[in-house]
Amino acid sequence: MTNSFIKRDITPVMLEMHRYFPVITMTGPRQSGKTTLLRKVFDKLPYYSLENLDIRRFAMNDPAGFLSRHPEGMVLDEVQHTPDLLSYIQGMVDENPEKRFVLSGSSQFSVIRQITQSLAGRTGMLELMPLSYNEVKKQADEKTLDEVMLHGFFPALYAGKNRYDLLYPSYVKTYLERDVRDVLQVKDMMQFQTFLRLCAARIGSLFNASELSGEVGVSANTVKSWLSVLQASYIIKLLTPFHENMRKRLTKTPKLYFCDTGLACYLLGIETEQQLTRDKMRGHLFENFIVMEALKNRYNRGKESNLLFYRDSNGVEVDLLFKNGSDYSA
């Protein structure tokens, strides 16, 4: 374990984008290291967190005045709180393309929708996930794979700032439940936690909203709404099936994965490496780990996901396919 800054694999492509785009937008899960990385890499730009109520109030009351404070530009963290700023940023970079803004957000819905409307063609888009295995191994050579899967990949765990058995209960309480409450006004959080745990038990399985709704005691539409929030908050990733060859009867239902195995282990009640090694979910968690590593590899190179899986009605299955143009590889 170390207290030093963890170098991130995404840094080179982020610096390259900074040369060509007046705005960079970075999204990703809460605590994936966005703030630390942006403050380190763009340390010459003034930094403002829009989680701070005073700063947020200033930005909302006088957007033009706030954004004009620094002629060189600024880093704006948690920009989903002030989406109205984006149209002002558009005007400023159109007028002065040398001005640079670096934006971050933890919720895909609001950020991506507003970016598409206001900053199309002006911003480079990046997604920062928790640490990759490559980044973890540089920090913790002595850890076994099972230990890493159990602990998860959030940077605080490898920078000496938290312990996995303390981080995940707090993460679910302070971030997940707050995001869900804010977006969907869920009244029964116990019911939602049951839904979360049932999702963790279905890692690597086809997502079935009707089946889940019956077990949780809510409608299938509610299950789909909850899932959309978990996707937008980077908690869950749905892997799309390959179905271009319509001559075969292929599934069109996505498979469910968690963006972090440590969070999944917490929700499954797996508390020790020994327990994980013996648990029936160990194989599913390893599959989850592989899928997420492939996804992080894409995102860390500034590329969108090209991951798919294959399954037909005869039970033939390929867990992971890579789409490269018109070609596919396993």
DSSP letters of 253-294?
Answer: PPEEEES-HHHHHHHHT--SHHHHHH-TTHHHHHHHHHHHHH
Tracing tokens 């920078």 back to the chain, one arrives at: 159
Instruction: Dump pLDDT digits (tens) for 240-273.
Output: 888 765 455 456 789 999 999 999 999 999 999 9
User: CA-CA distance, 184 to 178, in Å (whole number)?
Assistant: 10
CA distances from 304 to 126, 131, 227, 230 (A): 9, 17, 21, 19
Residue 1 has pLDDT above 50, yes or no: no
Q: Model confidence at 66, in pLDDT bands (50, 70, 90)?
A: very high
Least confident among 79-83, 158-162, 219-223, 280-284: 158-162
* Mean pLDDT, residues 304-314 taken together: 84
Predicted local distance difference test score (pLDDT) of residue 143: 87
Provide the token pair at 35.
């703030």
* Mean pLDDT, residues 122-131 taken together: 94
301: Cβ–Cβ under 8 A, 6 or more apart, which residues? 13
Instruction: Dump pLDDT digits (tens) for 297-308.
Output: 999 999 988 888
CB-neighbour burial class of residue 229 (10 A; exposed 0-12, middle 13-18, buried 19+): buried
Higher local confidence (pLDDT), 160 or 86: 86
The dihedrals phi and psi of 25, each to the nearest 5 degrees, come to: -120, 125
User: CA-CA distance, 187 to 180, in Å (whole number)?
Assistant: 10
Predicted local distance difference test score (pLDDT) of residue 277: 95
Contact 24, 126 (CB under 8 A): yes
Closest C-alpha among 77, 78, 73 to residue 88: 73
Instruction: Dump pLDDT digits (tens) for 210-232.
Output: 999 999 999 999 999 889 889 98
Residue 326 has pLDDT above 80, yes or no: no
Element (H or E) spanning 327, and its range? strand 327-329
Angle at alpha carbon of residue 87, lines to 111 and 56, rounded to 5°? 65
Contact 37, 159 (CB under 8 A): no
Provide the token pair at 251.
């599934």
DSSP single-letter state for residue 242: P
* Mean pLDDT, residues 177-206 taken together: 85
All structural domains of the chain: 11-127 (3.40.50.300), 133-329 (1.10.10.10)
Predicted local distance difference test score (pLDDT) of residue 109: 62
Contact 294, 307 (CB under 8 A): yes
- In this structure, the number of other CB atoms found within 10 A of the CB of residue 238 comes to 15
Least confident among 60-64, 148-152, 155-159, 274-278: 155-159
Instruction: Dump pLDDT digits (tens) for 79-121.
Output: 988 988 999 999 999 999 899 999 998 866 667 777 777 888 8
What average pLDDT does the chain have? 89
Predicted local distance difference test score (pLDDT) of residue 250: 58
Closest C-alpha among 7, 268, 27 to residue 155: 7
Half-sphere exposure of 314 (CA within 13 A, CB side): 3
Closest C-alpha among 129, 75, 79 to residue 105: 79
Closest C-alpha among 31, 232, 268, 240 to residue 149: 268
Residue 285 has pLDDT above 90, yes or no: yes
Residue 46 has pLDDT above 70, yes or no: yes
**Helices (runs of H) and strands (runs of E) counted in the chain:** 16, 10
Contact 320, 309 (CB under 8 A): yes
Residue 2 has pLDDT above 60, yes or no: no
